[in-house]
A and B are shown apart, each in its own frame.
Chain A
């Protein structure tokens, strides 16, 4: 069964450094998403992406964040200058259509020191 995959599973970085989180969505899916979950809190929507453009973004997704589909398979989330409060689990998801079931990857745990 096709799955969303994410790398790395755990990333440790110093405050102020740039990080890139990588995702490979399910191959025939057209819509891609990033979410984050701070430890002990709700899962929060960050951004949705379709046809090489951002479709929706939340108030969390400020200028420090960017997304890209650099090739036909990868979908990346970049945080330009990490802050301590960016420490969280980041989940990538994909769906065939905009209102279809979203399938989530296993997540990348980001720790900012």
Chain B
């Protein structure tokens, strides 16, 4: 059974810092991996999708990498802003989508 783990569970950084969120998964037979953002009490906003054949994807200040063989993905956020404060979820897709518990990010002004 696929298990998805995210480290750290919470992270607090000053504005302007670059940061890395980590996601690991136990079964490398995945179709893709998706990173989401969730604001308190809200739905999930898709940030990036990486197909299993890809190594990384970029969108603005966000860069996600995927190392399928080692079961790891990272989400890099450059020049963090207070508006980036949210919970970041990774999810791996192999017929059904399995989510990690998320990293709660706080960016202090």
> What residue in chain A is nearest B98 (Cβ atoms)?
A45
CA distance A48 to B94 in the complex (A): 12
Least Cβ distance of A103 to chain B in Å? Answer: 6
Select A104's contact among B44, B100, B101, beta carbons within 8 Å: B44
Q: Is B96 within 8 A of A45, CB to CB?
A: yes
Tell me if B49 and A104 are in contact (CB < 8 A): no
| Chain B, interface SS category | strand
Interface residues on chain B, size class: 20 to 34
- Give bound CA distance, A105 to B51, whole Å: 22
How would you classify the secondary structure of chain A's contact residues: helix, strand, loop or mixed?
A: strand
Q: Which residues of A contact B43 (CB under 8 A)?
A: 91, 104-107
Are A43 and B46 touching (Cβ within 8 A)? no
Query: Which partner residue on chain B sits nearest A92 by CB separation?
Result: B43
- Chain B minimum-CB-distance residue to A109: B41
Task: Given A91-B44, A104-B43, A106-B42, check contact A99 B32 (CB 8 Å).
Answer: yes
30 A-B pairs with C-beta separation under 8 A = A33-B97, A35-B97, A42-B99, A42-B100, A42-B102, A43-B44, A43-B91, A45-B96, A48-B95, A48-B96, A55-B95, A56-B96, A91-B43, A91-B44, A93-B44, A99-B31, A99-B32, A99-B51, A100-B49, A101-B34, A101-B46, A101-B49, A102-B34, A102-B46, A102-B97, A104-B43, A104-B46, A105-B43, A106-B43, A107-B42
A residues at B contact (CB < 8 Å): 33, 35, 41-45, 48, 55-56, 58, 91, 93, 99-107
